[in-house]
Chain A
Amino acid sequence: MSAAQATLNHTLPVDYLLHLADNALVLGQRNAEWSGHGPILEEDIALSNNSLDLVGQARLLYQEAAAQIGNGATEDTLAFFRDVPDFKNYTLLELPHHAPLAGTSASDRDFATTLVRNFLYSALMVLVWDKLQHASHEQLAAIAAKSLKEVRYHLRHSRDWLLRMGDGTAESHGRAQAAVNHLMPYTQEFWTRTEYESEASKATGLDIASLQNDWNQIVDQALLEATLKRPAAGGFVPTGKHSIHSEHLGFMLAEMQSLPRAHPNATW
């Protein structure tokens, strides 16, 4: 391999780093919304810890993106001073926690929706980080190796709950099935490709679509054990990673970003 090629192999489009970072930050923020509101103390702690890991991953990825962008960019400017059309997270991750038929987002914080989403995302990310830990981009590989350990634990936690709810009471089964029906269509976005993903795959060797079979295996096996049914695929394919989002992201960012925007450079 020539020196020029070696350099080329280490180039990652910054949008790809932002996509990974935005995923982690947005889901981290959603999990953090349970802090102080968990159905039981253990789950309050669990979801807060989940959030801590995800926000930690987001910080590492934003720091790397900021280093590439230069121009005074920092992890904070990327997290707090970008708007909806800049975010590249999957639409799945920005949805509120309420069950599909709740009247308002405040009226119902549905634990099943939160846990099913954590399961669907963790099942994807164990596969993604597993591949990315061998990426030729050194820092991304290092972040991936750390994140893999964390997300495996998240998968274990959310999968356990999926089984417990699905194979539980009529009420918990119904809620888990409703959450699966509600969220599964959003996962179709995982397998579409953006330009920055295609570009990144030259440095990472990862083609996201190639993970679909493994992901299906993890999901189907868990649903089977949980006595839940997988809804038929099809319908609208969300476009969050193309920066075209649902109506929910703006409200989430407003809450998350208001403090640093009201008091830029505040420290404590």
Chain B
Amino acid sequence: MTLAATASASGAPQHSALEHVWQLLESLTDPEIPVVTLRELGILRDVRTAVAQDGTEQLEVVITPTYSGCPAMGQIEDDVHTLLQAHGLKGKVKTQLAPAWTTDWITPEAKEKLRAYGIAPPHSGADHDCQTESGKANGSGASSIIQFAARSASNPGRHEQLAVPCPQCNSNNTTETSHFGSTACKALYRCLDCMEPFDYFKPY
């Protein structure tokens, strides 16, 4: 059954058919963090109709990778295909790079779910931590990079960075144990109050 057939069968205009697909896709979660959906993470960018080469209208689901090498992308694409097929829908999955994914797209509900799951959610305003300012300020690339990596003048042993509250006990007394964690999107932290190690979703 094609998308057009779905629409006409239900007697609804096409935008409802697309909304229906959005609803179906709500059941798809991230393969590595199964408590949040692809939409909530900002991986699912769009559901639309596109004109195929043979001139017919075709359903197109647009996704974007979190990290260039994210090994879950193949799985996510397969999951979308399987879901569409299970509902008798024909469509294709398009991977789009721009605009580049940012943790700022993760919904507030999803951040709360991450915290409940034991992963400290990313700070919003990922620009502080991971993006160069030079594009905007049109200044020297070097100065912004040094700023990024610089240590605080008042406390030279530490990076200037926001506290990452422990997802277990909510203490701000935490420390980074490793820049990298079990997946590309996470860093390792430890709470110095309850002593629990935890994952931090890197602002990006």
* Chain A interface residues toward B at CB < 8 A: 42-43, 45-46, 48-50, 52-57, 59-60, 123, 126-127, 130-131, 133-134, 138-139, 141-143, 145-150, 152-153, 155-157, 159-160, 211, 213-215, 217-218, 221-222
CB distance from B71 to the nearest CB of A (A): 7
B141:A126 contact, CB within 8 angstroms: yes
Known A-B contacts A56-B68, A59-B69, A146-B97; A152 and B132 likewise in contact (beta carbons under 8 Å): yes
Question: 6 closest A-B pairs (Cβ-Cβ)?
Answer: A56-B69, A56-B68, A142-B98, A42-B178, A214-B142, A142-B97
Name B130-157 residues within 8 Å CB distance of A.
130-132, 134-135, 140-143, 145-146, 148-149
CB-CB under 8 A from A56, the residues of chain B are: 65, 67-70
Q: Considering the chains assembled together, what is the distance between the CA atoms of A200 and B184 in angstroms?
A: 31
Structural contact, B141 and A46, CB atoms closer than 8 A: no
CA distance A59 to B68 in the complex (A): 8
Q: Are B68 and A57 in contact (CB under 8 A)?
A: yes
Q: Specify the main secondary structure of chain B where it touches its partner.
A: loop
Taking CB atoms, residues of chain A closer than 8 Å to B65 are 56, 146
B184: contacting residue among A49, A148, A152, CB under 8 A: A49
**A155 touching B69 by the CB < 8 A rule?**
no
B100–chain A nearest beta-carbon distance, Å: 4
- Smallest CB gap from A225: residue in B: B151
- Given contact pairs A56-B67, A57-B68, A42 touches B97 in the complex (Cβ within 8 A): no
A268 to chain B, nearest CB (A): 12
Please determine whether A214 and B140 come into contact, CB atoms closer than 8 angstroms.
yes
Q: Which residues of A contact B200 (CB under 8 A)?
A: none
Contact of B180 among A42, A60, A139, A218 (CB under 8 A): A42
In the complex the two chains form, is A221's CB within 8 Å of B180's CB?
no
CB of B69 within 8 A of CB of A57, answer yes
**CB neighbours of A153 from chain B (8 A):** 130, 179, 202
Question: Bound state CA distance, A211 and B109, in angstroms?
Answer: 42
- B142 contact from A45, A127, A141, A148, Cβ within 8 A: A127
Please determine whether B100 and A145 come into contact, CB atoms closer than 8 angstroms.
yes
Mark contacts of B184-200 with chain A using CB atoms, 8 A cut-off: 1 yes-contact digit, 0 otherwise: 10001000000000000
Please report which residues of chain B, range 89-115, place their CB below 8 angstroms from some CB of chain A when the two chains form the complex: 97-101
Q: How many Å from the CB of A238 to the closest CB on chain B?
A: 24
B142 touches A46 (CB 8 A): no
Query: Measured between alpha carbons, how far is A150 from B185 in the docked complex, in Å?
Result: 10
Chain A contacts for B71, CB-based, 8 A: 52
Q: A145-B100, A153-B202, A156-B149 are known contacts; what are 7 more A-B pairs with Cβ within 8 Å? A: A46-B179, A53-B68, A53-B69, A131-B141, A146-B68, A149-B100, A214-B141
Cβ–Cβ contact B99 & A145, under 8 A: yes
Q: A56-B68, A126-B141 are in contact. Are A145 and B98 (CB under 8 A)?
A: yes
Q: Chain B nearest CB: distance from A115 CB in Å?
A: 12
**B residues near A141, Cβ cutoff 8 Å:** 98
Q: Is the CB of A60 within 8 A of B149?
A: no
- Whether the Cβ atoms of A45 and B178 lie closer than 8 Å is yes
CB atoms of A46 and B131 under 8 A apart: no
Most buried by A among B65, B97, B99: B97
Residues of A within 8 A of B180 (CB): 42, 45-46, 48-50, 157
Q: Say how far B65's CB is from chain A's closest CB, in angstroms.
A: 8
In the complex, chain A residues whose CB is within 8 Å of the CB of B143 = 217
Can you list 6 A-B pairs, Cβ within 8 angstroms, ordered by A? Answer: A45-B181, A143-B97, A148-B131, A153-B202, A218-B145, A218-B146
> How far does the alpha carbon of A150 sit from the alpha carbon of B179 in the complex, in Å?
12
Cβ contact within 8 Å between B148 and A152: yes
Alpha-carbon separation in the docked complex, A146 to B67 (Å): 7
Find out whether the CB atom of A54 lies under 8 angstroms from the CB atom of B69.
yes
In the bound complex, how far is the Cα of B68 from the Cα of A43, in angstroms? 20
Shortest distance between the CB of A267 and any CB in chain B (Å): 12
Least CB distance, A124 to chain B, in whole angstroms: 11
B182 on the A face (CB < 8 A): yes
- The one of B100, B130, B142 that contacts A152, using a Cβ cutoff of 8 Å: B130
Of the candidates A45, A55, A138, A157, the one whose C-beta lies within 8 Å of that of B182 is A45
Find the B residue at minimum CB distance from A138. Answer: B98
Q: If the complex has contacts A157-B180, A217-B142, are A149 and B69 also in contact, measured as CB distance less than 8 A?
A: no
